[in-house]
Amino acid sequence: MRVGVLTGGGDCPGLNAVIRGIVRKGVQEYGYDFTGFRDGWRGPLEGDTVRLDIPAVRGILPRGGTILGSSRTNPLKVEGGTRRVLETLAAEGVDALIVIGGEDTLGVAAQLHAETGLKVVGVPKTIDNDLSATDYTFGFDTAVNIATEAIDRLHTTAESHMRVLVVEVMGRHAGWIALHSGLAGGANAILIPEHRFDLDQVCGWVESRFKIRYAPIVVVAEGAMPRDGDMVLKDGTLDSFGHVRLSGIGEWLAAQIEKRTGKEARTTVLGHVQRGGTPSAFDRWLATRFGLHAVDAVRDGDFGKMVALRATDIVRVPIGDATARIKTVEPALYAEAGVFFG
């Protein structure tokens, strides 16, 4: 049995831990051989492979990034893409493919499985934590820890200068990173895409914070939007899955706050720092278990499924359940945080 492995979409901490779990269990317990595909779906599309055996996965558990490389290549948008992917897999003697990715990468896996019978198993990955059907994706906990540490540090400098500090975090159209890091870091306002914000209210929170002689920290998700207006973007370019590149709301918000309150306001955009470096212990634990269970699904011939976390159990769900719609923050959960605003 030869199993292919690829990592697609935005990278995130824990990818290497999944790869290690897959290869260690697959080789040691089931006697499988592995082929790594480079840069997500670009690997099978262009026949670009990487050696993947036990020596190749030694020492990678704590390393960020992915030894396989990643990309946002969408083979379904390329002329003859499906045929080329299938030809590469046949030429490499790959019997089954483990696809580690988010909504887009797994969406391709689900479609290829449905249309061609390709034997795929999915592993959910994204710092955004926006995949349905799993309680958590790995990478999210690390991103939240990085953002929380940044907020902790920004509190002290904000107070020294009595400035407003706006922190823009990632998350695409879901506010999970903003909500978790904002609560953990004691932010005075948390603005998420699921709830359009009222600029007057945000300025009111800023002013009330200054009245008690503390400087406010405003955490804003990159996809957050003002009640009266559109998404603020620095750059409107699209990726091959048709997603617009987010970021820009932080700068815009600081300028608006400064204009309306007369208080100096600055922005920190955390950007890719949230995706880089070593995974947290939780993400190593989750990613390793996802890897072990993904190779078990291959052994059981349970294809078209994705491994998912439910409480502390790893279960298998149809990949389509995870990709049909994104998981967003419910209004009641967001409302809980409101007691700390202002």
Name the residue nearer to ligand F6P (CB basis): 119 or 173.
173
| Residue 128 within binding range of ligand F6P, rule CB under 6 A | yes
- 33: annotated active-site residue: no
Q: How far is the C-alpha of 288 from the C-alpha of 285, rounded, in Å?
A: 5
Q: How far is the C-alpha of 247 from the C-alpha of 256, rounded, in Å?
A: 16
The continuous run of DSSP H or E covering 229 comes out as none
| Residue 275 within binding range of ligand F6P, rule CB under 6 A | yes
| Residue 153 within binding range of ligand F6P, rule CB under 6 A | no
- The encoded tokens of residue 342 equal 């202002």
User: Smallest distance from the beta carbon of 104 to ligand F6P, in angstroms?
Assistant: 9
User: Smallest distance from the beta carbon of 102 to ligand F6P, in angstroms?
Assistant: 6
Name the residue nearer to ligand F6P (CB basis): 15 or 127.
127
- Stretch of residues binding ligand F6P (CB under 6 A), selected from 75-83, 169-177, 307-315, 330-338: 169-177
Q: Which among 301, 335, 313 is positioned nearest to 3, based on CA atoms?
A: 301
**Given the residues 128, 130, 141, 296, the one annotated as active site:** 128
User: Smallest distance from the beta carbon of 171 to ligand F6P, in angstroms?
Assistant: 5
| Residue 171 within binding range of ligand F6P, rule CB under 6 A | yes
The continuous run of DSSP H or E covering 26 comes out as helix 15-30
Is the Cβ–Cβ distance between 82 and 116 less than 8 Å?
yes
Name the residue nearer to ligand F6P (CB basis): 4 or 40.
40
| Residue 42 within binding range of ligand F6P, rule CB under 6 A | no
Q: How far is the C-alpha of 200 from the C-alpha of 261, rounded, in Å?
A: 10
User: Smallest distance from the beta carbon of 103 to ligand F6P, in angstroms?
Assistant: 8
Is the Cβ–Cβ distance between 50 and 37 less than 8 Å?
yes
Site mask for ligand F6P (CB under 6 A), range 239-268, x = bound: ------xx----------------------
Is the Cβ–Cβ distance between 337 and 192 less than 8 Å?
no
Cα dihedral 102, 103, 109, 112, rounded to 10, equals -160
Q: Are strands 33-37 and 2-7 parallel, antiparallel or unpaired?
A: parallel
> Can you name the residues that pair with 218 across neighbouring β-strands?
166, 189
Report CA Rg, the chain: 21
Name the residue nearer to ligand F6P (CB basis): 36 or 171.
171
Q: Which residue has the tokens 């603020």?
A: 232
Q: Which of 66, 70, 111, 126 binds ligand F6P (CB under 6 A)?
A: 126
How many residues sit in the footprint of ligand F6P (CB under 6 A)? 12
Which residue's C-beta sits nearest to ligand F6P?
Answer: 170
| Residue 10 within binding range of ligand F6P, rule CB under 6 A | yes
Q: How far is the C-alpha of 291 from the C-alpha of 18, rounded, in Å?
A: 4
Cite the active site residues: 128
Contact residues toward ligand F6P (CB under 6 A) are 10, 102, 126-128, 170-172, 222, 245-246, 275
